[in-house]
Amino acid sequence: MGQFFVFIKKEFYHIFRDRWTMIILLILPVIMLTLFGFAITTEVKNTKLGVFDPSKDIATRSIIQRLQANEYFILKKFISNPDRIEDEFQRGEVGLIIVFPEKFYENLLHTGEGQIQLITDGSDPNNAITLTNYATNIVASYQQELNKTAVIPYQIVPEIKLLYNPRLKGAYNFVPGIMGMILMLICAMMTSVAIAREKEKGTMELLLVSPMKPLVVILSKVVPYFFVSIINLATILLLSVYVLEVPVTGSLFWLIIISLIYIFLSLALGILISSLVNSQVVALLISGAVLMMPVLLLSGMIFPVESMPYLLQLLSNAVPARWFIMAIKKLMIKGLDVTSIYKELIILGSMAFFFIVVSLKTFKNRL
Amino acid sequence: MQVIEAENLTKRFGKFTAVDSISFDVKEGEIFGFLGANGAGKTTAMRMLCGLIKPTSGQGIVAGYDIKKQSENVKANIGYMSQRFSIYEDLKVWENLRLFAGIYGIPNRKINDRIDELLKRLGFESEKDTLVKSLPLGWKQKLAFLVAIVHEPKVVFLDEPTGGVDPASRRQFWELIYEATDRGITVFVTTHYMEEAEYCNRVSIMVDGRIEAMDSPRNLKNKFEAESMDEVFHKLARKSTRTGD
Amino acid sequence: MLKYLIEKEFKQIIRNKFLPKMIIVFPVIVLLVLPFAANFEIKNINLSILDNSHSTYSLRLINKVVSSGYFRTTNISDNYSDALKSVELDKSDIILEIPAGFEKEIINDKITKVMISANTVNGTKGGLGSAYLSGIIYDFSNEIKNKIAVTGKRPDLNFEIVTQYRHNPNLKYSNFMVPALMVMMLGIICGFLPALNIVNEKENGTIEQMNVTPVKKFQFILSKLIPYWVIGFIVLNNTFLIAWLVYDLTPAGSLLTIYTIASVFVLSYSGFGLVISNYAKTIQQAMFMMFFFQITFILISGLYTPINSMPQWAQFISQFSPLKYLIISMRSVYLKGSNLSQLLTPFISLIGFAVFFNTWAVISYRKKGN
């Protein structure tokens, strides 16, 4: 046992001496949370608006003013020639152009009809749909104002209640995802590279011919990363509660339990990868391609799993992060109790058990 | 003619003085042995002479160029074989030679002849297309030596070139060294195998960053009334206060 | 001299068991999978229906909602707490609650309401889902207006709003994502590999043998840069091919424009990787620094979310992401057919990055220690 602690001390020393890695290890979660929490939003705001207005009358001016007053649009420029429209889009100068016909208000009063054209850059479809909806609503509200006296019959008013995240904050969705990603990064990726390094340098053989049991050698390599990930877990939770105002509404105890299971699982994956490869670069590339990409893409962290094709949904079942993130969402944000995460607990638990056994087996066989 | 001239060469890392004001000359065509225990400062001194690190103070002239101001000219005229085996393991034998021949500016049409000549000297033609990583250590070291002299430098620096191989391989390696000196290449070699010290024309013995003795092996043995260089070394090394690294 | 160094880099890359496969296969796989996964198109929203009215109108409304294609009914409940339970268990995303007096109120009062409760843990999905649902309900009320409202008076002044989606008239989400993902792959490969390269030589000790030769710093850096430049072209061409074969996407503009801008991008990004490699002491360190920057650069590049919507400080940071400029250019050329003169700003910015990072890489490569 005494030897074990000597080894762990050595490993800690290795990690802490590498000041830059240490700093990044500790601030990466902070940066990611800040970016995701504040900067990354799928809301559509501040779109640059172009206007082609040959009429320049009271109606067109009011509509432009209404659009401008909105946080969705920023009036960028008036376009003098409709032939320039294509060029404006190609330069990426504007996201939406509103085109009025000549004598807009005059015709409106005469015929009761006025045509308005909304041209959007459809490159980003969601953006384009949202923009035209916004603009249509704004124009329609002006229309209603003009027709104050008219009654619009038959209305079904939808009353919308937003559950769990009434302010539609992106952070609610991202915090569990970032936890899943960072823990996987540190536990699996860092561990696999650290062990591969010893193999590459030949120092692993030295350790293995020493009287230490191979299991102890491996455990001592893994313990420091375990500690670092615990620190990261704490940082993420504190930041999300106090800075991003994402509460932990459910059971903190079970939140920690499931995180620990996930951490063990990731560590086992790291050991498994490192026992299969001989060089750091390959360890890194494999854990990047096999572990990180799926966490980013298939776990539901950024993209909803339900919108994926069936095959990918099936595949996502094999991504541990998916279950972890689901459980965290339930515990943290929905405030449910442990009964609701039995399924995730069982799946992650068996995955962890499986990979720990497999990784120790391969490790023994390989060395 | 002096190929290496060092005068009060000093290197400090923070408060630690790795090399403490050493001075010596190495003549053309000489095999100069640089002896010392681990941590005595041999490698640091050698790295200064090769222009790999800057001296804290003192002067050094190697192959006619100032190591402080003209380190790139120094590099063009020396060969170097580091203690850590440092040629490309994922290249073939001839590819390593070709790479360094090219870097040292040997004209393209002459490179192939040069490679064949070197491999022949080593009796290594059959392994021309072998990946370096599959060679045994002794052969790797010989190849690293060929890489270091591929451009016929004025002087070649060898940092513990025979570490970790059996005495037979070591002797073969020294035959290569003698061959190089026959062609006029000066050899500067560090080692801690004292039997190798006997092969040198002159040796210096470093203890705790300073040169404690410098002469031909025979004169040193006489001076210290010792049977072998090993004994000379042990008499001097007793003074050391540093522990090996 | 440069020739021999470049020759060596290529031999090392080709001889690696893993790298050539990765350079070819990885972008292909990512491009095949990602556009399907990276999909913000909201489909298959799971709906829990709580119909207290059980009337002709409520059934018609439900029918209309379900036949819209966005929703599928996964739960039908009699009371709100059951419906909520199904949301908690992730069986449904949205509850549509129709009040008991729904039909009566429409006919008598001409106004009624329905309740929508959306799970907004994923804000995008919840928000868009409830917006779609309200849209359908609005259409439904228009329908009954037209059908039964004989007395309904048309508004006096009517606006006809014509919308036009340029450049992507069918609003295909893959058209938007594929060009950007091409850039991401280019960035990952031409960023990570150089970042690992020099530090790998450091760990193997081979850099020492280089440092003692008279090789010039800029030659050394150039010999590292050029192979990744070539690899960048290979990756780019592969992704062109996939975009064409799988997504039926060819650039509206000229390929030459893309090649020109992308080649400068690869130089700048590989230069950045080399800078990291120069400073890193171990591969682990290099990888971690690169990972940190890659993820930051990707997130603020506008790849997934519009830059315009970011807060000011994030928009400011996004200017330092080289990815941003190539993503803008790639999307513009592919979808809008922009030409180089229209993309001068991103092009010049990338030239700036290329000069800056590569100068830095030459300076920070230390042939001589202290």
C18 interfaces chain B, CB cutoff of 8 Å: no
Please state at what angle helix C56-67 crosses helix C123-148, rounded to 10 degrees.
Answer: 130
Check pLDDT > 70 for residue C170: yes
Check pLDDT > 90 for residue C233: yes
Q: What is the mean pLDDT of chain A?
A: 82
* pLDDT band at residue B244 under the 50/70/90 scheme: very low
A51 and A32: one domain? no
pLDDT tens, residue by residue, B160-205: 888 888 888 888 899 999 999 998 999 999 988 888 888 999 999 9
For residues A158 and C116, the answer to whether their CB atoms sit within 8 Å is yes
CATH class of B1-77+153-245: alpha beta
Beta bridge partners of C185: none
CATH classification of the domain holding A70? 3.40.1710.10
For residues C121 and A329, the answer to whether their CB atoms sit within 8 Å is yes
Check pLDDT > 70 for residue C82: yes
The answer to which of A194-203, B28-37, C66-75 has the lowest mean pLDDT is A194-203
A106 and A59: one domain? yes
Check pLDDT > 50 for residue B43: yes
- Strand arrangement, sheet containing C158-166: A73-78, A47-52, A96-99, A113-121, C158-166
Q: What is the pLDDT of residue A34?
A: 83
Q: What is the pLDDT of residue A105?
A: 87
B98 interfaces chain C, CB cutoff of 8 Å: yes
* pLDDT band at residue A301 under the 50/70/90 scheme: confident
For residues C219 and C2, the answer to whether their CB atoms sit within 8 Å is yes
Question: Which of the pair, A166 or C206, is modelled with greater confidence?
Answer: C206
C69 interfaces chain A, CB cutoff of 8 Å: no
- Kindly give, in sequence order, each residue whose CB lies less than 8 Å from that of residue C58, ignoring residues fewer than 6 positions away: C51, C98, C102, C103
Q: What is the pLDDT of residue A168?
A: 61
Check pLDDT > 70 for residue A150: no
B5 by Cβ neighbours in 10 Å (0-12 / 13-18 / 19+) ranks as middle
Check pLDDT > 50 for residue B245: no
- Chain C positions touching A91 (Cβ under 8 A) are 338, 342-343
- Domain membership flag for residue A309: yes
pLDDT tens, residue by residue, A303-351: 777 777 888 888 888 889 999 988 888 888 777 788 888 888 999 999 9
pLDDT tens, residue by residue, B85-98: 788 988 999 999 99
| Chain C nearest-CA residue for B144 | C209
DSSP state of B82: -
Q: Check CB contact under 8 Å for C209 and B95.
A: no
Q: What is the pLDDT of residue B224?
A: 87
The beta-carbon neighbor of B88 closest among C16, C206, C211 is C206
The beta-carbon neighbor of C331 closest among A123, A289, A308 is A123
Check pLDDT > 80 for residue C202: yes
Mean pLDDT of B227-233: 86
- Domain membership flag for residue A155: no
Q: What is the mean pLDDT of chain B?
A: 89
Q: Where are the domains of chain B?
A: 1-77+153-245, 81-149
Q: What is the pLDDT of residue A298?
A: 82
Highest mean pLDDT among A4-18, A59-73, C164-178: A59-73
Mean pLDDT of C203-230: 92
Distance to chain A for C51, nearest Cα, Å: 14
pLDDT tens, residue by residue, B104-121: 989 989 999 999 999 988
pLDDT tens, residue by residue, A163-216: 776 666 667 777 888 888 888 888 888 888 888 888 877 777 776 676 667 777
The alpha carbon of residue C302 and the mean position of all alpha carbons in its chain are separated, in whole angstroms, by: 7
The beta-carbon neighbor of A193 closest among C122, C168, C284 is C284
- Domain membership flag for residue A316: yes
Please name the chains neighbouring A, where neighbouring means 3+ C-beta pairs under 8 angstroms: C
Mean pLDDT of B22-32: 93
Domain count, chain A: 2
Do strands C94-98 and C45-51 pair parallel, antiparallel, or not at all (unpaired)?
parallel
The answer to which of A211-225, C96-110, C224-238, C311-325 has the lowest mean pLDDT is A211-225
Q: What is the pLDDT of residue C174?
A: 84
User: What is the span of the domain harbouring residue A285?
Assistant: 2-40+171-366
For residues A233 and A316, the answer to whether their CB atoms sit within 8 Å is no
- Chain A positions touching C165 (Cβ under 8 A) are 120, 122, 125, 128, 132
* pLDDT band at residue A25 under the 50/70/90 scheme: confident
Distance to chain A for C196, nearest Cα, Å: 7
Distances (CA, A) of B133 to B86, B87, B93, B141, B143: 11, 10, 10, 12, 12
Q: Check CB contact under 8 Å for C284 and A190.
A: yes
> What 3 state SS string does chain A have?
CHHHHHHHHHHHHHHHHCHHHHHHHHHHHHHHHHHHHHHCCCCCCCEEEEEECCCCCHHHHHHHHHHHHCCCEEEEEECCCHHHHHHHHHCCCCCEEEECCCCHHHHHHHHCEEEEEEEEECCCHHHHHHHHHHHHHHHHHHHHHHCCCCCCCCEEEEEEEEECCCCCCHHHHHHHHHHHHHHHHHHHHHHHHHHHHHHHHCHHHHHHHCCCCHHHHHHHHHHHHHHHHHHHHHHHHHHHHHCCCCCCCCCHHHHHHHHHHHHHHHHHHHHHHHHHCCCHHHHHHHHHHHHHHHHHHHCCCCCCHHHCCHHHHHHHCCCHHHHHHHHHHHHHHCCCCHHHHHHHHHHHHHHHHHHHHHHHHHHHHHC
pLDDT tens, residue by residue, C292-349: 899 889 888 988 778 887 888 888 999 999 999 999 999 999 988 889 999 999 999 9
A229 and A88: one domain? no
For residues B193 and B39, the answer to whether their CB atoms sit within 8 Å is no
Mean pLDDT of B131-152: 90
Check pLDDT > 70 for residue A134: yes
Q: Look up the pTM and report it.
A: 0.83
Q: What is the mean pLDDT of chain C?
A: 87
Q: What percent of chain C has pLDDT over 90?
A: 41
Mean pLDDT of C127-155: 69
A130 and A207: one domain? no
Check pLDDT > 90 for residue B49: yes
* pLDDT band at residue C30 under the 50/70/90 scheme: confident
Closest CA to C209 of A361, B210, B157: B157
- Domain membership flag for residue A291: yes
Cα(C140)–Cα(A61) distance, integer angstroms: 33
Question: Which of the pair, A42 or C175, is modelled with greater confidence?
Answer: C175
C272 by Cβ neighbours in 10 Å (0-12 / 13-18 / 19+) ranks as buried
Q: What is the pLDDT of residue A12?
A: 77
The beta-carbon neighbor of C296 closest among A31, A289, A307 is A31
Closest CA to A28 of A186, A192, A260: A186
- Chain B positions touching C11 (Cβ under 8 A) are 90-91, 95
Please name the chains neighbouring B, where neighbouring means 3+ C-beta pairs under 8 angstroms: C
Q: What percent of chain A has pLDDT over 90?
A: 11
Q: What is the pLDDT of residue C307?
A: 84
Residue position matching structure tokens 């424009």: C257
- Kindly give, in sequence order, each residue whose CB lies less than 8 Å from that of residue A126, ignoring residues fewer than 6 positions away: A42, A44, C40, C41, C128, C173
- Domain membership flag for residue A95: yes
* pLDDT band at residue C163 under the 50/70/90 scheme: confident
- Domain membership flag for residue A334: yes
**Domains of chain C, CATH where assigned:** 2-38+170-364 (no CATH), 45-148 (3.40.1710.10)
Q: Check CB contact under 8 Å for C289 and A20.
A: yes
pLDDT tens, residue by residue, A65-96: 999 888 889 888 898 888 888 888 888 888 89
Say whether the C–A interface has 3 or more Cβ pairs within 8 Å.
yes
